[in-house]
Amino acid sequence: MDEPEFEELYRDTSQRLRTYLYRVCGERRLVEDLVQEAYYRFLRSGFSGETREHAARYLFRIATNLLKDHWSDLKRSPELPVEEPPERPSHHDSPQERIDVHAALGALGGRDREMLWLAYAEGYSHDEIAGILGLKEKSVRVLLFRAKNRMLRVLKELS
């Protein structure tokens, strides 16, 4: 991939990747570090996919793996400060108040947020999500179904 192709790929994918990571982890500084590292690893990999969307899915996979590595490091290293997950949404007294989808996503686990964001915000198929998350397609179907049900329960709590 030459420099102009990479610049075009970056313009097409960087905001999507940042949004995905932020919705999954909720930490802006971490997101910037992960995005930078994902593009660095992408370039080092010598990726030669067939389409730009194939490259985008590969970037999402790299970023997802970096985030999982970060979370694993936090669990193993007691000297590192433990980051709090996004706050659980509080109940609203007034039915006129809007449901905060970001807060609802924050009430879910990281895997659920990944699955829901990739499926509904990015529009990826089960097969594409499986490739990004390193799962089997049949597992994605089950996990996504469960994630949707958990999201529905959270949304009911908020309404």
Q: What pLDDT score was predicted for residue 52?
A: 87
Nearest residue to 100 via CA among 109, 88, 110, 111? 88
- Where would I find the H helices in the chain? 3-25, 28-45, 52-76, 101-106, 110-116, 126-133, 137-158
| pTM: predicted TM-score of the whole model, two decimal places | 0.70
Q: What pLDDT score was predicted for residue 74?
A: 75
| Across 95-101, average pLDDT | 57
Q: How far apart are CA 135 and CA 130, in angstroms?
A: 5
What is the share, in percent, of the chain residues with pLDDT greater than 90?
48
Residue 43 has pLDDT above 80, yes or no: yes
Residue 83 has pLDDT above 50, yes or no: no
Nearest residue to 129 via CA among 108, 137, 38, 109? 137
Sequence-distant (≥ 6) Cβ neighbours of residue 28 within 8 angstroms: 22
